[in-house]
Amino acid sequence: MTTITSDSAVTAALGGFGLTNVLSYKIAEHVRAGRLATVLGNFEPPPFPVTVLHREGRHASKKARAFIDLAVERLRANPALS
């Protein structure tokens, strides 16, 4: 089977249609619950950092700063991303 979205790939794997290759945070809940298992985990690529670039100083946007603060808080709180 071929699919173009990770959500449908996860649904297919949960339905017993075989293996899928998606980012770990997409399946973390299912792995914790025992519905899915990691296969060939030793061959996973290393994690990459999330980087946010923004303008500092007097031209900085308050909305951008608020978004960044919220994103950092949520990303750090998500155990699947740690």
pLDDT single digits (tens) 21-72:
998 889 999 999 999 999 998 988 887 787 877 777 777 788 888 988 898 8
Indicate yes or no: pTM above 0.85: no
Average pLDDT, stretch 71-81?
Answer: 85
Average pLDDT, stretch 11-23?
Answer: 93
Q: What is the pLDDT of residue 82?
A: 67
Q: What is the pLDDT of residue 51?
A: 82
Residue predicted with more confidence, 57 or 6: 6
How far, in Å, CA of 31 to CA of 29, rounded? 6
Q: CA-CA-CA-CA torsion for 11, 13, 14, 15, nearest 10 degrees?
A: 90
**Amino acid identity, position 6:** S
Domain ranges of the chain: 6-43, 49-82
Q: How far is CA 77 from CA 21, 52, 54, 71, 81, in A?
A: 24, 17, 22, 10, 8
